[in-house]
Amino acid sequence: MMGNFLLGVGATLLALGVFGYLAFRLFRRGPLTFAIEDFYTHVVDGDVGPFVRDVQADVPHAQECRLDDRLSCSIRDAVQSHNQAGRPDCNVLLLSGGGQWGAYGAGLFDTLSRNSANELALNDVGVITGISTGSLQTLMLMVALDPKQTPEMRRFALDRLVWGYSPKRESEVVKHTKMIGVPVYGSAAGTAPLRKRIVEALMPGGDTRLIEAIGESSIEGFAGFVEAERGVFRYADIKELVNAAPNAAAAAEALAAAAMASSAMPVFHQQLRIAGSNGKALALYDGGVRRSVFFDRAMAAVDAEVREQMKGHALAKVADGVTQDAFVKDYEATAPSVYVVRNGPTARKPDATLNTKSGPLRNGQRGYDLLVNESEIGAIAALRLNNPYGRIMLTSADRYDTFPSDVGENFKKDEMFKPAFMARLRDLGRHKAERPEGPWWPLSKIDGV
C-alpha cells in the first residue's frame, strides 16, 4: 500500500516536472533580436572615469581612458563654442532612465516649448546623452532642441515625444506578465510592442521627416547600454546610425535597437540582442545597470577642456595669489552649463506594510527600487566629482503625488506603463515648467562655494 502511494507521488512529481519543462519551453519568450548591419561600427566603450580607474588599478586589463571618440570630441567642441566669440553657446543635456517616469520629461519639454517664442524648450544645447527612457527622449529632443530646425519641425518632434509617453493601454508598450511569470516566461514583460511603438513614434504612417531631421541635427546625441558578455558600458552615436543606414526604415530600426538596448532591464524586460555585420548577436542591457547618466565621460571631458581653456587666463593661476573664489568664478564662466533630467523621484515613499507583510516578490521589488534609487541619485551627485565648479542644473519628478492636479492618477501598483499615472507625470512636467521658480535648481559646487 505504501509502495503504491510512493509510486503515485513519484509519478505525480514527474508529471509536474515534465509539465513545467514543457510550459517553460513553450511559453518562454527568448531574446528579441535585431539584425543591424554595421551597428557596432557606431558604438564605442565608455570610459569609466579617473576615480573608477583608481579603484580598479589592480584589475588586469582594466579599461584605459580614451578621449578621441565622438562624445569626447563633442564635449570639447561644446566648451570651445562656449568660449569663442561669435559662436553659438553649446550646453550639455543628460537624460536619466526611469521607464514610464519618462512621461515627466515629455511633459516638461513640451510645456517649455509651448511657452517659448520659437518652440525651443531649452536654448544652446549641443550634446544630449540618454539612458533607458532617456535614450528614447534623446531621439526626439535632438530635433526639438535644434535651433536649425523650423519651429514646425520642432513641434512635430515634441508631439511624437508626447505621443510616445501617452499610451491608451499598457499592452501598447509591453506584454506584461508580471514578476510571478518570470520562471515561465523568462522575464516580467515582452518588449515586441515597444519595438513597434518606437518605430511608429519615429515614422508615423511611414513619414520619414523626423528620421531625416535626426540625421541632420546640429546636436550630437548618444544612447548608452551595457554589453552583457563583458559587463562594459558602451554607447551608440545616434546620428551615425541614421546616416549610415541605407534608408529611413532601416535607420528607424537601428534607432529602435539602440534605444531598446539602453532600456533592456534584466529580468524585468525580455533579453535584447543586436547582431552586427559579423552576424554575432550580442546581449545588451539597460545602461542604468551601470550608470544613470553619462557622468564619467561627459564631466571628465568638460573638466579637462575647461582647464585647457583656462590656461591662458590670469585667474587660472591660483598659486600666483589669485583667490579660490576668483578661480571658481572663472571656471564657472568657462564651462558650459549641464542640464540633468531625473526621469523619476529621488526618494522612495515609505511603505509601513513591509513591517507586517512579507513575500519574495514584495521584498524583492522593494529592494530593487531602493537600489535603483540610490544608484540614480548617486550618479547624479557624482557629476560634481569631475566638474567641481561648473553650472549643473537638475530637475526631477519629485512631488508627483502632492502637486495640485486633477489629471490622471498619482499612484501605481506593479504596472510598468500605467496610462493614468503617465498622464499625471506629464502634467507634473507642465506644472514644474510653469511654476514661478521654474523646473531647474543648481547642484552645489564641490566646496560649497
Q: Which residues are catalytic?
A: 132, 286
Among 346, 135, 342, 131, which residue's Cα sits nearest to residue 233?
A: 131
Distance CA 154, CA 135 (A): 18
- 365: cell is 521589488
Decide: 248 and 211 in contact? Cβ < 8 Å.
Answer: yes
User: Is residue 237 classed as helix, strand or coil in its secondary structure?
Assistant: strand
Chain centroid to CA 427: 21
Greatest CA separation for the chain: 98
- Spell 75-102 as b/e; 16+ CB within 10 A means b: bbbbbebbbeeeeeebbbbbbbbbbbbb
Place of cell 521658480: 437
The span from the CA of 324 to the CA of 138, in Å, is 37
Residue with cell 589669485: 322
Q: Is the dihedral of CA 158, 159, 164, 170 positive or negative?
A: positive
Which of 185, 170, 93, 172 has the alpha carbon at shortest distance from 139?
Answer: 93
Q: Which residue has the cell 535584447?
A: 272
> Residue 15: CB partners within 8 Å, gap ≥ 6?
none
Q: From 332, 335, 336, select the one nearest 445 (Cα to Cα).
A: 332
Tally Cβ neighbours within 10 Å of residue 339. 19
Count other C-beta atoms under 10 Å from residue 445's C-beta: 17
Tally the residues of the chain. 449
Element containing residue 45 per DSSP (H, E): strand 43-45
Helix (H, G, I), strand (E, B) or coil at 127: strand
CA gap 215, 220 in Å, rounded? 10
Non-local (6+) Cβ contacts of 342 within 8 A are: 96, 98, 292, 376, 377, 380, 394, 395, 396, 397
